[in-house]
Amino acid sequence: MPLARRLASSAGVGFLALVSLVACADPVHDAAVDALGPEAPGVPAGPDHRPGQPCLTCHGGQGPSSFEMAFGGTVFAYLAANQPAGGATIHLLDGAQHTFATQTNCAGNFWVPKPAFDPTYPVQAAVQWASATEVMRTEMRLNGDCNYCHVQPETAASPGHTWILAPSTPVPEVSCR
């Protein structure tokens, strides 16, 4: 076969290989997913899994989960402990004055599926748990991945995980699912 044809066919094959490898590759996102680690023992993938981890890393539309969320996060009872605040209500208000309210489950996790509320940013948020109330001091401007910023412990780069009770306040009796 003439040299030109051999080069052309090899280049075509190489191009196919390159396109297929690059098409679904996002090393930054893949690294973020890998950094979450495996599921906790005894807690399968589902509504109760991975409290405190950034939900939209997997549920933000880039995969690996096909269940896409507009908002997701976890509410804990106290800043300094990992006790979940089950049955807490999350209030959201977007830039177009649309509101949305949802609740945490017994693991403290909450989520809003994308079709249910596709907000206009910025979005304000507040949490209520029985008589306790906390209003978010800043606004969400990029996405609804609460646990992306709310990382435990509190540092110069994080206000700590989302909490609702002052240290001396007893945990209320609130039912959750």
Site for other proteins in 111-150 (CB under 8 A): 111-113, 115-117, 121, 124-126, 128, 131-135, 137-143, 145, 148-149
Token digits of residue 164:
């609702």
The nearer residue to other proteins, 41 or 96, going by C-beta atoms, is: 96
Q: Peptide bond preceding 47: is omega within 30 degrees of 0, i.e. cis?
A: no
Q: Binding residue for other proteins (CB under 8 A) from 35, 40, 43, 46?
A: 46
The nearer residue to other proteins, 83 or 99, going by C-beta atoms, is: 99
Token digits of residue 77:
């009872």
Indicate the SS3 state at residue 145: strand
Please, which of residues 146-175 interact with other proteins by CB under 8 A?
A: 148-149, 154-160, 165-166, 168-169
State the nearest-atom distance from the C-beta of 74 to other proteins, in Å: 13
Rounded to the nearest 10 degrees, how much is the dihedral formed by the CA atoms of 26, 154, 85, 108?
Answer: 10
Q: Binding residue for other proteins (CB under 8 A) from 3, 4, 23, 31?
A: 23
- Measured CA to CA, the distance from residue 45 to residue 49 in angstroms comes to 6
Token digits of residue 69:
């969320």
Instruction: State yes or no: residue 83 binds other proteins (CB under 8 A).
Output: no
The nearer residue to other proteins, 74 or 104, going by C-beta atoms, is: 104
Q: Peptide bond preceding 153: is omega within 30 degrees of 0, i.e. cis?
A: yes
